[in-house]
């Protein structure tokens, strides 16, 4: 067994150290490209004064009705979508691409069902 492994290593060594059977083609040298030069603008940009810095306007952000994390189940009923959120244990109601409200659940739910004929959601 040892002789067989030694023979394989010798064969690998001989093949790796032998000269290649195909002649090597010379590689072409890529053409030289000029180095880009740094261009300095003729007029420097003005530095804003400290009076120019400050609050320009206030933007009112809308309040979110709650938080939903790790949504894992979603159903649709009419024009609304309902999704269960695992981490917060609530149900998010989505309408017109916005969350309109969150319904807190008493315990962690894993599934829910919709009865479209009765327009009911079972959690």
CA 119 to chain centre: 37
The tens digit of pLDDT for each residue in 41-99 reads: 567 677 766 665 666 777 776 555 567 777 888 898 989 999 888 777 888 899 998 88
- Domain edges within the chain: 65-123
The rounded distance, in Å, linking the Cα atoms of 81 and 121 is 11
Please state the pTM of the whole predicted model.
Answer: 0.45
State the virtual CA torsion across 112, 113, 116, 121 in degrees, nearest 10.
Answer: -40
- Looking at residue 95, what is its pLDDT? 92
The rounded distance, in Å, linking the Cα atoms of 25 and 29 is 13
What percentage of the chain carries pLDDT values higher than 90? Answer: 2
Q: Is the pLDDT of residue 109 over 70?
A: yes
Q: How many CA atoms lie within 13 A of 58 on its CB side?
A: 2
Name all contacts of 42-50 with Cβ < 8 Å and 24+ positions apart: none
């Amino acid at each position: 067994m040892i002789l067989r492994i030694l023979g394989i290593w010798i064969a690998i060594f001989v093949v790796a150290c032998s000269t290649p059977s195909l002649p090597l083609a010379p590689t072409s040298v890529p053409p030289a490209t000029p180095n880009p030069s740094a261009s300095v603008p003729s007029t420097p940009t003005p530095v804003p004064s400290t009076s120019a810095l400050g609050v320009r306007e206030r933007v009112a952000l809308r309040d979110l009705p709650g938080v939903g994390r790790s949504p894992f189940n979603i159903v649709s009923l009419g024009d609304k979508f309902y999704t269960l959120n695992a981490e917060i244990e609530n149900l998010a109601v989505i309408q017109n691409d916005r969350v309109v409200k969150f319904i807190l659940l008493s315990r962690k739910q894993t599934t829910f069902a919709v009865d479209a004929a009765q327009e009911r959601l079972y959690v």
